[in-house]
Structure 1
Amino acid sequence: MKAIVTVIGKDRVGITAAVCSLLARHNINILDITQTVLQEFFTMVMLVDTAACEQSIGDMADILAQAGQEEGLSIRIQREDIFNAMHRI
């Protein structure tokens, strides 16, 4: 299943590496990634494949939210179909 991961927080060294490492530990493959820094804020959006992940999307949401809280970031994951439905005009 494909999902969207979003990361937002104050910019610092190592955010991309930390998030990508966490996803890799859970067998989540990054299919596409975009990131930018808006003034002092880091933003990243990733399209990922969760097919090999042993955790449910709900469990991964909790894992990513907890990791984000520890790092001072907002990290969220959402199924691609739900993300698309929410952003359809």
Structure 2
Amino acid sequence: MKKCVITVVGKDTVGIIAKVCEYLAGANVNILDISQTIVDGYFNMMTIVDVTNCSKEVAVVSKELEEIGTSIGVAIHCQREEIFEKMHRL
């Protein structure tokens, strides 16, 4: 199984989760785990996804998610799980 970590951060607004999930479903990306919080009007989401059957390269998914984030006013980042873990090791 190939996994990625997707993070979404920004000012809360209606439809953030819907836009991200709609894109993922269209690319055949399976959501394995999702967590979201809103703190003082700021939205924060972390999602673990399975990209094994994804219809696009991970780099394309990452770029397109960033573009979606820009269009709705949030920052979206998608990284392969192994890169995320190495970057966030203590």
TM-score under structure 2 length normalisation = 0.94
Give the structure 2 partner of residue 30 of structure 1: 31
Distance 2:16 2:59 in 1: 22
Q: Deviating runs (4+, > 2 A) in structure 1?
A: none
Alignment partners' CA distance in 2, 1:27 and 1:54? 6
How far residue 38 of structure 1 moved from its aligned partner, in angstroms, is 1.2
What is the CA RMSD across the aligned residues, in angstroms? 0.8
- What are the residue-to-residue correspondences of 1:43-82 with 2, within 5 Å? 43-82=44-83
How many residue pairs match? The answer is 89
One-letter amino acid matched to 1:69 = T
> Which position in structure 1 is the counterpart of 2:14?
13
Structure-1 separation of matches of 2:68 and 2:18: 13
| Aligned counterparts of 1:76 and 1:86: Cα–Cα separation in 2 | 13
SS in 1 for 2:45: strand
Pairwise CA distance, 1:37: 0.4
Encode CA deviations 1:26-64: one digit per residue, 9 max, x unaligned.
001000000000101100000000011121111111110
Q: Distance in 2 between matches of 1:66 and 1:14?
A: 15
Task: In structure 1, give the amino acid aligned to 2:37.
Answer: T
The unaligned stretches of length 5 or more in structure 2 are: none
For residues 12 and 61 of structure 1, what CA distance do their matches in structure 2 show?
Answer: 21
Tell me how far 1:13 sits from its aligned partner.
Answer: 1.6
